Chains A and B, each alone.
Chain A
């Protein structure tokens, strides 16, 4: 079993977290709730969330002797991560099937990436190290 990160991308100027007509919003919620119920039923759902926009982001960097802080996202671009799911899947084909369903429900592009390791680093250290 591998864990995969499914990041949903939003494009600035296109529909994202902004206001939508109520019936459209209701449709959207129903699709997402049904999808997440399906993920739960198969034991695939690990975690998920929707993020505030890039304007709410802060970047920190190691400076000389101090940590430097800047307002805004790390990468200034028209596309940004709007939310994500972390799922369990047997292999990439299984993960891609879920990703396809996420795309159909959210109608945002999805990037699928496998986790190299998950959980606390100490838990993946070999015994005695």
Chain B
């Protein structure tokens, strides 16, 4: 798509608008038609028409409105023309068919936001498996093409198409509602939405080949923050992604991973850090901590430090204690143990890591952390063995290159 865009700047503009309005238009039409596949088909039809019209007449002032109205009217027309549509009209007198609207009739912004919010909760419904939640979110809310979603998850286009069809089938057949969950269910359901977006970010962060997922996740997090300005955990997720993203430029050098300790901090993105810090400060004032806000606060401490040595590690250990209290997972315990390494030294850190090692036997970062502590303790053979194990389990090329170097240096 980028090549196409470069060859024809006007098409690039249209393409960019499509990506932004796709989710909004689909969300609104899902409310109108009650069906995702129908809504998507209608939006695709409208895009084809727009590509033709907008090139001559220019992009209209409210492209999303134009797309929704056009998609809606065309879908209604084609429904009326179809045999099945005529049958239903005869049978039921057209109860299910909304009236056609004039082309300039675009709904108020608030309504559109509600439509998007509802669709987010549908896409991330816990009755859908995680990879389907992610695929639907990227396609329907991120506006990615199905082939782009497929590339992001290293599966073929046909596999991804099947995955999307299956997820949409379940939503329809099982009647997963288009609804923002009621208050008692909201925190749990919101966590599921936030986890999907964070998973998308981390998939992009762990693998340079899929780096574009990072900007997709940041865009989604910004959308969520606009849609739910009163949810502190949504703000926490946005801050977490901003602060992680601020260090990305320094994290990869010539395709190789650079540890936090060795990063050139002048390369960190101050604009993103400032934005992240502002959000974290607002969260602290609000004082309703949750897992994403705590993770953001930890990143905020790292980003505020002028050097690795100047990092406020005690504060980080305290924050990990709070995080472990709300999400007592072995991975949180591992990260806390790594921070221990800076406050208490490698010995106590190794003891803490060994306590959780059985739960993380297949997690490469546990073995890498063990290797690091063992090396600091001067146990080179044991350290090499740990890094070898990490290398064996590492999922990406960048991590394998990094771990290979550690093993070689200890030989």
B-binding residues in A (CB < 8 A): 2, 90-93, 95-96, 112-114, 116, 126-127
Contact = CB atoms under 8 A, between A and B. Distances in A.
Interface stretch (B71-79, B137-145, B168-176, B233-241): B168-176
A126 B91 CA distance: 9
B91 A91 contact: no
B94 interface: no
Contacts of B87: 126
B127 interface: yes
Dominant secondary structure at the B interface = loop
Contacts of A91: 175-177, 179
A114 B173 contact: yes
Given A92-B127, A96-B127, A114 B175 contact: yes
16 contacts: A90-B177, A91-B175, A91-B176, A91-B179, A92-B125, A92-B176, A93-B176, A93-B185, A95-B174, A112-B174, A113-B174, A114-B173, A114-B174, A114-B175, A116-B173, A126-B91
Given A126-B87, A126-B91, A93 B179 contact: yes
B30 to A, nearest CB: 14
A112 B126 CA distance: 13
Contacts of B175: 2, 90-92, 114
Contacts of B181: 93
Nearest to A89: B175
B187 to A, nearest CB: 15
Interface in B247-276: none
A88 to B, nearest CB: 12
Nearest to B87: A126
Contacts of A96: 127
Contacts, number: 29
A92 B174 contact: yes
Interface in B98-116: none
A96 B175 CA distance: 11
A126 B176 CA distance: 26
B84 to A, nearest CB: 11
A114 B169 CA distance: 12
A93 B173 contact: no
Contacts of B179: 91, 93
A30 B324 CA distance: 39
B95 to A, nearest CB: 16
A44 to B, nearest CB: 15
Contacts of A90: 175, 177
Nearest to B178: A91
A2 B171 CA distance: 13
Given A91-B177, A114-B175, A126-B87, 6 more contacts: A91-B176, A92-B127, A92-B175, A92-B177, A93-B181, A96-B127
B126 to A, nearest CB: 9
Nearest to A97: B185
Interface centre among B91, B125, B127, B175 (most CB of A within 10 A): B175
Contacts of A116: 173
Interface string B138-179: 000000000000000000000000000000000001111101
Contacts of B176: 91-93
Contacts of B177: 90-93
Interface centre among A91, A92, A96, A112 (most CB of B within 10 A): A92
B328 to A, nearest CB: 23
A37 B13 CA distance: 60
Contacts of B185: 93
Contacts of A112: 174
Interface in B58-103: 87, 91
Interface in B176-209: 176-177, 179, 181, 185
Interface centre among B125, B174, B179, B185 (most CB of A within 10 A): B174
A95 B125 CA distance: 14
A90 B87 CA distance: 26
A93 B125 CA distance: 9
A76 B28 CA distance: 47
A30 B210 CA distance: 55
B396 to A, nearest CB: 36
Contacts of A95: 174
A113 B127 CA distance: 11
